[in-house]
Amino acid sequence: MLERPRPLSPFLHYRWQYTNTLSIAHRVTGIILSLGFLLLVYWVIAIAGGPAAYARAEILFARPLVEGLLALALVAFAYHFCNGIRHLVWDAGFGLERREARRSAWLVVLATILLSVIVGSIVLFGRGGVS
């Protein structure tokens, strides 16, 4: 009796497509958001720790590397949010055709850029409104 070779994972046979990229990006942004959550927890603990702890946190959050990580977390949040809505629409049975899926992929990318710019602008330039 001849033994058949075990099948390879399906992704090894597929041609690279936009759906692959957006799917991988969704997973990566989920990981980035999980790591960014640690910064949020540190910030909340610093607030609860009093003025000295908060002052130390302000120094940390003012470093360029941390500011870059926060900007990355903002873009990750925007993408994950927009693509999550796209998946909810798919779960409802809409937008599953190839043309519609491609259009919604572009919409997710454009909405991510727009949302990131809007929220980033508010964060950078809108600090004077809260006292």
- What is the average pLDDT across 3-7? 74
**What is the residue-wise DSSP string for 44-97?**
HHHHHT-HHHHHHHHHHHTSHHHHHHHHHHHHHHHHHHHHHHHHHHHHTT-S-S
CA triplet 47, 67, 129: central angle to 5 degrees?
60
Give pLDDT tens digits for 30-80. Answer: 999 999 999 999 999 999 999 999 999 999 999 999 999 999 999 999 999
Output the pTM of the full model.
Answer: 0.81
Q: What is the SS3 assignment for 14?
A: coil
Give pLDDT tens digits for 82-107. Answer: 999 999 999 999 999 999 999 999 99
59, two tokens: 């120094």
Burial of 68 (0-12, 13-18, 19+ CB in 10 A): exposed
126, two tokens: 């809108």
Whether 131 has a pLDDT exceeding 50, the answer reads no
* Structure confidence at residue 1 (pLDDT): 60
What is the set of domains in the chain, with CATH numbers?
19-124 (1.20.1300.10)
